[in-house]
Amino acid sequence: MVSHDRMFLDNVVDVVYEIEYGTATRYPGNYSNFMERKKENYNKLMKDYNAQQKEIARLQRIVDRFKNKPTKVSMAHSKEKAIEHMVKIEAPDRFDTRTFHANFEPEKETGNDVLLISDLQIGYDHPLSTVNLDLKKGDKLGILGGNGLGKSTLLKTLVGQLPALSGGYHFGTNVQIGYFDQQMAMYSSRKTVLDDFWDEFPNLTETEARNALGAFMFTGEDVFKNIDMLSGGEKVRLALCKILKRRPNVLILDEPTNHMDIVGKETLESMLKDYSGTLIFVSHDRYFVRKVANRLLVFEDGTTNLYQFGYEEYQQKLDREAEESAGSYRKTPAALGGAISQNGASIASGKASGAAEAGKMDGAGKKAYYNPGKERSKIEKKVKRAEEELAVKEEKLEALKAELLRPEYQSSYSKLTEIQAEIDALEEEILEDMENWEALSQQLEELEV
């Protein structure tokens, strides 16, 4: 199935295929698992890319330092070949670059009391519902309910498109409304995007208009597209661009995520969560409601119920009621302790100073005399041993990386995690060993001088 309904994907599917940049990538699990794994993959690839760039720079320093020294030229050549033969990792593209953004902050603030609704009856020929509501500054009210119960009718009444049948409502001081109507956003026109935007903001320069449109992903030649040529998602973005350009302090949105792809929905979610004004919105997208709303108005069988919490708590309430009606009471599991014990022991480590080494006593209790030749021989042995250990670890690292690509492991998240943990630990060891090798090589170089 193909779907943009993230809640549906979370509840139904057990594998997700994402088509991006001409390739399809398989992710086991539901939508939330997919997003978590995708982010992990990006972070892992970026970490590997940065680690490889650091390794290339380190090897190049060795090449530059020793390529003109007769006794080390072979080592320099081997490191140069290592750079040449290395399978280069490309810097990963961010998966969220194609998103829109805008200044969502209101031009002016409202008072604390934003909207008071008293026994408001809404409808056309006959009342659909009666609504009571006291909305405060900063509230984000999600409106839920089945089709035909009056959700969109309430919004149209609040913005003056429909008269109230009885009762009333009152907006507070300094309220500036930005209203999005899903039907009005889908209009047809032969005007270009730029001309359509200019009709509403004629005082803007072309640069200012294009900057505003660019914030909603209308860049370059996109601004010269006819409205008729836009997709549903593009029309929604254009409508939001015009609304938000006015910087309202109360947003009233009717199904804003309809026609949007998942990236667009998640961008809008993030923007609305950060919005400091007051929000009233209707949506059937439960995932969107869960992310944004902190209060709910639910239309149910001719009545409306106001809940002082978001969608997750509301769903938990419905689940409890369903279980209670079936005679099955949920038992809340006891907390299993909040603390995780940690091993506070530390391992002391240190390096003997050159002065202490030089002042070391021999077996007879006499001070040993410094012998440059003997010291050089000792360090040469340490360098050789360090190189041998590095070669073994680098070979093991390549084997682990090959194992990570084995087809039979691609569906096993636990196995891939286990192998990756070994790779990360080994790379840290190799990095420490290389730093030790460089320090020894520097000491040897100084003795030769």
Count other Cβ atoms within 10 Å, centred on residue 156: 17
Nearest to residue 227, comparing CAs of 175, 178, 187?
187
- In the block, which residue shows the tokens 């991006």? 20
pLDDT at 243: 92
In this prediction, residue 381 carries a pLDDT of: 83
pLDDT score recorded for residue 178: 95
Helix (H) or strand (E) holding 125: none
pLDDT at 144: 94
Sign of CA dihedral 44, 45, 50, 56: positive
Question: Which long-range contacts link 244-247 to residues 24+ away (Cβ below 8 Å)?
Answer: 244/102, 244/103, 244/104, 244/178, 245/200, 245/201, 245/212, 246/107, 246/176, 246/178, 247/103, 247/105, 247/106, 247/107, 247/176
State how far the Cα of 16 lies from the Cα of 133, in Å rounded to an integer: 41
pLDDT at 176: 95
Classify residue 235 as exposed, middle or buried by CB count within 10 Å of its CB (0-12, 13-18, 19+): buried
| Side-chain-facing half-sphere of 449: CA atoms under 13 Å | 6
Q: How many Cβ atoms sit within 10 Å of the Cβ of residue 440?
A: 19
DSSP characters for 298-355?
Answer: EEETTEEEEESS-HHHHHHHHHHHHHHHTT-PPPPPPP--S---------------HH
- Please report, for residues 9, 103, 116, the alpha-carbon distance to residue 112 in angstroms, rounded to integers and kept in the order given: 39, 22, 11
Supply 89's token pair. 């990792």
pLDDT at 328: 53
Contact indicator for 192, 198 with CB cutoff of 8 Å: no
- The stretches in the chain having pLDDT less than 70 are 93-103, 327-373, 411, 413, 447-449
The pLDDT score that the predictor gives to residue 36 is 82
* Contact indicator for 272, 279 with CB cutoff of 8 Å: yes
Q: Round the CA-based radius of gyration of the chain to a whole number and report it.
A: 33
Predicted TM-score of the model (pTM): 0.59
DSSP state of 367: B
